[in-house]
Every structure is written in C-alpha cells, then in structure tokens.
A and B are shown apart, each in its own frame.
Chain A
Amino acid sequence: MGYPHKPHPKETVVLSQHFGDVEARTHKGWVKRGGYEALAQALKLEPAAVTDVVKESGLRGRGGAGFPTGLKWSFMPKEKKRPHYLCVNADESEPGTFKDREIMRWTPHALLEGTAIAAHAIRAEVAYIYIRGEFTEPWTIIERALAEANAAGVFGTIKVYLHRGAGAYICGEETALMNSIEGKRGNPRIKPPFPAAAGLFGMPTTINNVETLAAVPHILTRGAAWYKGLCLSNPKSTGTKLFSVCGNVQRPGNYEVTMGFPLKDLLYDMCGGPPAGRTLKACIPGGSSVPILTREETEACLLDYEGVVEKGSMLGSGGVIVFDDSADMVYQIMRLARFYAHESCAQCTQCREGTAWTTKIMERILAGQGKTKDLDLLLDLSENMTGKTICVLSDSCAAPVVSGIKKFRGEFEAYLAGKRPVPVMVS
C-alpha cells in the first residue's frame, strides 16, 4: 500500500498489506493475520527443501545486487562442521531508499519470521539483525517484537540478536557489516573468500536484505508458483517490490508493484507526477548508486532487473529519486559525489582520492571556476574509479557523474561558460 498514502488500485499489495496497521506490530496481531504459519511449516521441512522452494520462486536479493536468494542459501556448506551465521542487512542508508524502514516499523514480525526461516534453511543457530544507528524507532519496534516472539518461543533453537550500527553507510556492504558486528572498523573485506565459506567470525555466513527476508514467509505459505506468477515482463524478475519514491513528486512514499511495472505509471499515476507547473527532468531509479535516466528513458522504463538495465541504469535497491525542471543537475550530482567522499572507508586509493577529487572538481565548476578540460578530467577519474576497488562504493560515485555529464552536458557547459543552467532556486 502506498504508505503514507492510500493504497492505489495498480499496486500489488503483499509486503505492505499491513503498513499503517498498529495491531499487526504485536505478536498476537501478527498471528491473527496468519503470521508464523510459514515458520511452523518451514521448521517441519528439511533445510534443503526450504531453499528449493525459494529457488523455485525466483526471489532475488532486494538489497541492491539482485542475486538469486535460494542460490545464495545453497552455497552454505551441506555438512555442518562449524557454526553458521545469518546476517540481516537493515543498514538502509543508500540515498533514495527507505523501504526497509517501513517494513520494520509496521511489520517487524514479518522480518523476524523471514529471518528464522532463512536461519533454518542455512542451518544457522544465530542471526544478527544489523540496524543502522539512526533508526531509533524501527529499533524499538523490532526489539519489542523480538521480546514477544521469544516469549512465545516461536524460534525454537534459533537465536536472533539485534546489533546497532553507529553511522557509516559503508557498513551496508556485506563484509563491512560483518566487521562491524565483530567490533571492528567497517572496512569491506577482499573477496574471496566469500561469506558462505568464511564470513562472520570466519564462519560460513549468509547475508540478506530486510525486504528479501520479509518476502520469504509469503513464498512458503502461498507457494513458489504463485510468487513466480507475479511477473509483468521478464521471467527472471519475479514477485513484488517496494519502490521508495522521493524528490520532486507530489506523493512521495513507498509503493508496492509487481516486477515489470512501468516506471511512468508509478511516477505519474501513483505519485501524482512532479509538483504543479513542473515537468520531469531526470530520475535515478535504484538508489543514488545507479546511473541517471533522462525523462525519455524514465517514461519508457519497465521496473525489473532487466528492464532498467535496458534503459542504461540498474534496479538497485528500488529507491527512485525524481528531479523536476527546477533541479540543478550539476549541483545535485556534486551533492551525491560529496556523499560518497564522506562515506568512503578510504582503504583503496582510487576511491579515497577519486571521490574527494570528483567532489572538489564539481565544487570548482559550481563556483564558476571550472576549466573546459574538467569534464574530461571527471570522466577520466570516473574510469579509474570503476571496477578497480575492494567494494563498489567507488563505482557508485562514478555512476551519477558519468551519466550526468553524458545526459546533461549542457548544464555543465553553462557553468563552464560562466552561466547558471537553471534559475536559482530560492531556499
């Protein structure tokens, strides 16, 4: 449902069915709504059988990379010789993304149930839910739900613990998150080894996003075939997805649609389009780490993993950022570059220097002191930042810069010629 707005008839409501319903937060209320049936069902199955159902459903990771969830689970050792761990990624810090927060606020038991099912499937006795430090309200709600679930004994032998982050976007990267749980600086680790071989505390580990896990109970109770049938375009993208829409739209919020849904309908029908008198200029469809789309690309884009790639970007986390014709793209891209410069963990030279220099050069352009060769310099820097570092934060900084220069070159050139590309906004 289009939280905080009324549900829209074009939505397919699965994960968001109980958003706004306070009673669904309690254990009793959740059970009344059919909650914990999926877990009871899963605990009667062999772990491998649970993994097979999820594999069959086509569910892919909702944290950004879109990796098939069942396949990821199947990488865990079949024979258990050491402790296994599950990490739940509730670090949600990618600009434009605010869906996991809503899942945790309204349906904490959906996350806990999905967590316990996943832990069973990968034979983990302990699951850590890593919640970003700023999410004080979701923390309180999950903490209460967890206490209720423990009191009701729903998890059997599985232990679920909460771990609070302390302000660092990079801790959303899976191996940085594991370091952060271990009490270390949140530096991403070099892969391999991959987490399924040596993850948290050096033990076999699986990590999943909040939205991924919240979908799992539905798949178990309604079946893999039902989930697979939720598909409007490419059969490799199944199920529903929460899209967080923000920026210059009339009704920002979370909207749940079937994979393959037109981005145009999401933005115009559901979100009411840009504010009155404004037109859409650009859109970042998958959180700030993916390339920017022009208006034409946006209006022709289908929202699934393949559809967004076809238009030159990525589905990412499903955080949709909308810019109308009053937005100064050069300034906005500088803000994003500044974000990555601030959040770089500084291990890799290309990332540490690249994000800082990109921001500096963009600031210089904005101050009217840019040089003609600055655009080539930015593109050159970006190339050196792509595919060369321990994690993809560096690539993420380059994505909006490269696509921005390519698609909104006129605005950059206006600054270089000593003009302002769009009228100054009063703020």
Chain B
Amino acid sequence: MTQSVSHGEDYQPVFDGKIMDELQTVLQRYPTKQAALLPTLWIAQREHGWISDRIMAEVAEVLGLTPAYVKGVVTFYTMYHQHPVGKNFVQVCTTSPCNICGAEAVMKALLEQTGAQDAGATSADGKWTIVEVECLGACGFATPVLVNDDFLESVTPEKVPEIVKKYR
C-alpha cells in the first residue's frame, strides 16, 4: 500500500531533529522496526499530547508500517489518547478492592471540585480530564490516583482539595 500523507500546511512533524535521534536509540533495542511501535507512540504522545490520525500516519511512515496497522495497535491500548485531553489527565482506580475502600467518593469529589463533571469529559477551562480506570496495581494504597505521571497513594475525599489546588 502506498500512502501519501497530506500533513497540511501547519503540521509540524514530531519526528525531526532531536526526537529523531531519540527514536534511533529506541530502534537499537529491537531486532525489528515494528517492535519500536509502542515506545514510538509514547514519544509521540509526550510531544503532542495525544495521538491524532496525522501522528499515526507519521509514526507509520518512520517505522515502515501502514497507518491502518498503527491505528489497530493504538486502539488496543487504553493509555494512548485518541482525543485531546485536559492539562491534567487523572486516572482513578475504581475496581472492587478500591471500591470497598471508598474509591467512588474520591471520584465524585474530583469530578465536582475540578469542574470536569462527567467521567471522561474535560472541564470547561481545559485543565482537567478525569477517568475511572481498572486496577492500578496499588490496591493496598486505596485509592490510588494517577495525575499525569504522578502516582498518588491513599487518596481520600479529604485530600482532593489539596490535589486540585496543586495541579490547577
């Protein structure tokens, strides 16, 4: 399949200069280019905030894959954002062990106090997206909350105002 990706006038490729060098070091870790797909998508998301169709096409190009293949992989994993998210992307575990320790109340407090209102929605000021996720692997520290890359332990509704203030 040949594809010519129309990036549009204003599109700034992610994989250029220093980022391209970073990609080269990633590629050295694997015997195939395809195997670099997950780390490459991580780099793209770090640089661009989310994985757009254009980014998928660019990733496909640099790794010699098709855009459709890349999309198939992106959609399998929950951590690649297929839409823009708020400045603070907040993941709250609500699986059974955390549920019995009060995760629901933490979720409720976060939704109310950030103005995000609905799980998955972004607050009007663009600052917050709060999502419910399955087990974060820290069940003894209920309720674990991941704010961007910061892993917070033992969050209770009482601690929510402090968190909202810190990341606002």
Contacts and interface: CB of A to CB of B under 8 A. Distances in A.
Contact of A252 (B39, B134, B135, B140): B140
A253 interface: yes
Contacts of A244: 139-140
B135 A327 contact: no
A134 interface: yes
B72 interface: yes
Interface residues of B, number: 45
Interface stretch (B13-21, B77-85, B114-122): B77-85
Interface in B116-146: 133-142, 146
Interface in B24-53: 29-32, 34-39, 41-42
B104 A134 contact: no
B34 to A, nearest CB: 4
Chain A contact patch, size range: 35 or more
Nearest to A326: B100
Contact of B137 (A93, A185, A186, A288): A93
Contact of A95 (B31, B102, B135): B135
A161 interface: yes
Contacts of B73: 183-185
A73 interface: no
B105 interface: yes
Contact of A96 (B97, B133, B134): B97
A25 interface: no
B123 to A, nearest CB: 22
Contacts of A182: 32, 34-35
Given A94-B135, A163-B38, A321 B76 contact: no
B95 interface: yes
A168 interface: yes
Contacts, number: 144
B96 A101 contact: no
Interface string A123-151: 00000000011111100000000000000
B138 A327 contact: no
Interface string A237-273: 0000000111110001110000000000000000000
A342 B134 contact: yes
A94 B63 CA distance: 32
B145 to A, nearest CB: 11
A29 B158 CA distance: 37
Interface in A66-107: 83, 92-98, 100-101
Contacts of A185: 72-73, 76
A169 interface: yes
Contacts of B97: 95-96, 246-247, 321
A186 B78 CA distance: 12
A226 B146 CA distance: 41
15 contacts: A95-B96, A95-B134, A101-B137, A134-B133, A137-B151, A166-B41, A166-B42, A166-B78, A183-B36, A185-B73, A252-B140, A327-B100, A335-B95, A336-B96, A339-B134
